[in-house]
Amino acid sequence: MKTRGFTLAILVLLSLSCFAQESGKRLGIELNSGVSLATKKMDGTTLNPGFGFEGILHYRFMPHLGIYAGWGWNRLGADKSFAGNDVSFEETGYVFGLNFKHPLGTSKLAYYVRAGGLYNHIETENANGDIINDTKHGFGYQFAGGIDINLGKNWSLSPGVKFNSLSRDAEFERVPKKFDYQYISVRMGFLKKF
């Protein structure tokens, strides 16, 4: 009888500790922004450093694993290109994927790794800001990683690096073009957990 009581007490304590691990906030909203650098030429065009931002909604469904989805924008300009002089190529659309976050010991730091998809399009704008081409939406991919710094009161600072890749077809003056829009971005974000 004592063995059953002891076993029951151990099971209850283990159950409570499992619930305690799950008591953390599961939902979060992140806003991040930063500098972007092209990793290759786009149809022979050298792209200048640019800028972008994302708004992301996170949902954690396991202790260290969650999903994310959101919207992003990134702009890379070019002084000279097949589309003319002083143009910009703006990638806009949706991001979604898996997010793995794990604490670093007992510190307020955690590292995160993300892998996901994109459903974006690329708009080409002239020097006046007029859209001269739109590739329409298509799928690409994204990888990201960084550090989550707990600031307290369910706020985190999340510096990181991400890589986006999107290939789309376009046409300029009836000449087909292949846009391989690839860049690395150094980002700084703020995350609020609910």
11 part of a folded domain: no
Residue 18 lies in a domain: no
Write out pLDDT tens, residues 101-136. 999 999 899 999 999 999 999 999 999 989 999 999
In the chain, the number of structural domains is 1
pLDDT tier at 82 (50, 70, 90 boundaries)? confident
Q: Do the domain assignments include residue 10?
A: no
Of the chain, the percentage scoring pLDDT greater than 90 comes to 74
pLDDT at residue 3 greater than cutoff 70: no
* CA 25 to mean position of chain CA atoms: 20
The predicted structure's pLDDT at residue 22: 45
Residue 24: predicted pLDDT: 78
As a whole number, the mean pLDDT across the chain is: 89
Position 16 pLDDT exceeds 60: no
pLDDT at 4 over 80: no
pLDDT of residue 55: 97
Taking phi over 0 as left and psi of -120 to 50 as alpha, with beta for the rest, 167 belongs to: beta
Is residue 74 within 8 Å of residue 164, measured between CB atoms?
yes
Residue 69: is its pLDDT beyond 50? yes
Mean pLDDT of 65-88: 94
Under 8 Å CB-to-CB from 19, ≥6 apart: which residues? none
The answer on pLDDT for 86 being more than 80 is yes
Determine, yes or no, domain membership for 183.
Answer: yes
Residue 189's CATH number: 2.40.160.20
Residue 102 lies in a domain: yes
pLDDT of residue 142: 97
Residue 8: inside a domain: no
pLDDT at residue 95 in the model = 97
Count of C-beta atoms within a 10 Å radius of residue 101:
21
**Containing structural domain, residue 69:** 26-193
Question: What residue type is assigned to position 105 of the chain?
Answer: G
